[in-house]
Amino acid sequence: MSPIVKCPTCGKRVEWSEASKYRPFCSERCKTIDLGAWASDRYVVPADPAAEADESPSTETTPSKH
Ligand SMILES: [Zn+2]
């Protein structure tokens, strides 16, 4: 008997065996989705627009007169 794991992406039950090629994912699709989410998460900067505006001094760009 093979242990049953849950697919991290969709939560589908996956049999942990040689038959489950993409374990712990249920399919190649779910594996790709998870890896893609992880990769994209690295580049996501949790920037809070309000906090950013609060920290930076409110410098109004005055157009230089020539
Ligand atoms: Zn899945």
Which residues have a beta carbon within 5 Å of ligand 1, which is an ion? Answer: 7, 9-10, 12, 26, 30
Residue 41: what pLDDT?
64
The predicted pLDDT at position 24 comes to 94
**12 Cα to the center of ligand 1, angstroms:** 5
Q: How far is the CA of 46 from the centre of ligand 1 (A)?
A: 27
Report pLDDT digits (tens) over 1-59. 889 999 999 999 999 999 999 999 999 999 999 878 767 766 566 667 766 556 666 66
pLDDT score, position 37:
75
| CA 61–ligand 1 middle distance (angstroms) | 51
pLDDT at 65 over 90: no
Residue 64 CA, ligand 1 centroid: distance in Å: 58
User: What would the DSSP string read from start to end of 1-61?
Assistant: ---EEE-TTT--EEE-STT-TTTTSSSHHHHHHHHHHHHHHHT-----HHHHHHHS-----
